[in-house]
Amino acid sequence: MRRLKLYLVRLFKQSAVGACALTVLLFPAAAKGKCLIADAAETTVYVGGMTAGFTLPAGGVQIVELSSVPCGEGSRRPAEEAGLRAGDIILAADGISLSAIGDLTAALERSGGREIVLTFSRDGETRKLTVRPAKDKNTGNFKIGVLIRDTLSGIGTITYIEKDGLHFGALGHGVNEGAAPDAPEAKVYACNIIGVKKGTRGKAGELKGLFLNDRAIARAEHFCSTGLFGTFSDGYDFSACETAQIAPVSEATIGKAVIYSTVDGTQPKTYDIAIAKVDANDRDNKNFVIKVTDEALIGETGGIVQGMSGSPILQNGKLIGAVTHVFLNDPTRGYGISIERMMAGERER
């Protein structure tokens, strides 16, 4: 088991300051929307609420930190000198695609110290630059002075699992770290929440958990702007899971509702919330404004925290959506996506 450092959630101020907001097309509201609503009304799913640990391919080689390379001329920082930054995802070297750390290492060795052209992604934009590797005097290997990773790991919450086929949806928003949208090598593990950093005004809290690496519970297959999707294992025990019908956003009303979340251990609990606003046509997947009213949850977490993204929202016993965002100026308040928009986003990807 390993303690998680990274989280697959995006928590925003109401103005989305300091984070990358989701931008998606509005789900068509004509005949196609009516068909989805009709289908959804007949669908019964297992209600999620359990946290899960995800590992996803990064879609390249992501720079975590810039560093120095000891060499004969003292030390150099080739990546920094060339203009690379932490967070950039290196996609190719001299036109050859990179998907793993070893691919970049091999490309640097092939260079023999000559300049190479790196193709990389930054803020969703693909760019190119040249960098001259330095020869590490201690190892003899050519390096550019970067700490890198080729996978992304984090905690998120499962929203629903379809009874027929065990298809699941989670998170309720995109994974904006450059990972490839089709993720056949992605893994989903059971997760044990061992602590909580409470949210306070101006600072988001977070769940702290452990991957249970011997308990792969599902296969993640792809993700889009409305969530991460895949298939649960046949052997997963659903005996403790409640079931609910899916309801379209047109059935949601201002007033009482509940969320299912796991903030301790591995089993979800229900917590009271209030829906303060319903907006079926929001273009940023913010169909609901919600407020946590459950004193027990507020006492334990301060409200909505990192790791709760994807927590299912139920009203009148029906699944209507998932928690996606928190207001940094008030951690008891946040946004939710409607379940029909979440599912439609996957179909439209």
Judge whether 309 counts as a catalytic residue.
Answer: yes
pLDDT in tens, 114-161: 999 999 999 889 999 999 999 999 999 999 999 998 887 889 999 999
Q: How far apart are CA 142 and CA 87, in angstroms?
A: 21
pTM to 2 decimal places: 0.77
The mean pLDDT of the chain is 85
The predicted pLDDT at position 41 comes to: 54
Contacts of 15 (CB under 8 A, 6+ apart): none
8 A C-beta contact, residue 288 and residue 324: no
- Copy the structure tokens of residue 22: 């989701």
47 and 312 in contact (C-beta within 8 Å)?
yes
pLDDT value of residue 121: 92
Dihedral sign computed on CA atoms, order 21, 22, 28, 33: negative
One of 103, 167, 173, 311 is an active-site residue; which one?
Answer: 173
User: One-letter amino acid identity for 125?
Assistant: E
Query: What does each of the 349 residues of the chain score in pLDDT, given as a tens digit?
Result: 333 333 333 332 332 222 222 222 222 222 233 334 445 556 899 999 999 998 877 888 999 999 999 988 789 999 999 999 999 999 999 999 998 999 999 999 999 999 999 999 998 899 999 999 999 999 999 999 999 988 878 899 999 999 999 999 999 988 755 555 555 567 899 999 999 999 999 999 999 999 987 788 998 888 888 999 999 998 899 999 999 999 999 999 999 999 999 999 999 999 999 999 999 988 788 999 999 999 999 999 999 999 999 999 999 999 999 999 999 999 999 999 999 999 988 777 5
Where does residue 201 rank: exposed (0-12), middle (13-18), buried (19+ CB within 10 A)?
Answer: exposed
The encoded tokens of residue 113 equal: 């110290």
Kindly name the residue from 121, 153, 309, 311 that is annotated as catalytic. 309
Q: What token pair was written down for 203?
A: 């600072």
By the 8 A CB rule, do 245 and 318 touch?
yes
Q: Is 139 left (phi over 0), alpha (psi -120 to 50) or beta?
A: alpha
Under a CB-based contact definition with an 8 Å cutoff, are residues 331 and 305 in contact? yes
CA gap 154, 310 in Å, rounded: 13
Structure confidence by residue, pLDDT tens digits, 278-302: 999 887 889 999 999 999 999 999 9
Q: What is the dihedral of CA 254, 260, 262, 266, to 10 degrees?
A: 180
The structural domains of the chain, ordered by start, are 31-57+151-348 (2.40.10.120), 68-144 (2.30.42.10)
The answer to whether residue 284 is catalytic is: no
Residue 133: both structure tokens together: 């590797």
- The reported pLDDT for the residue numbered 180 is 53
Query: Would you tell me how many other CB atoms lie within 10 Å of the CB of residue 139?
Result: 10
Enumerate residues 6+ apart whose C-beta is below 8 A from 130: 82, 115, 116, 117, 118
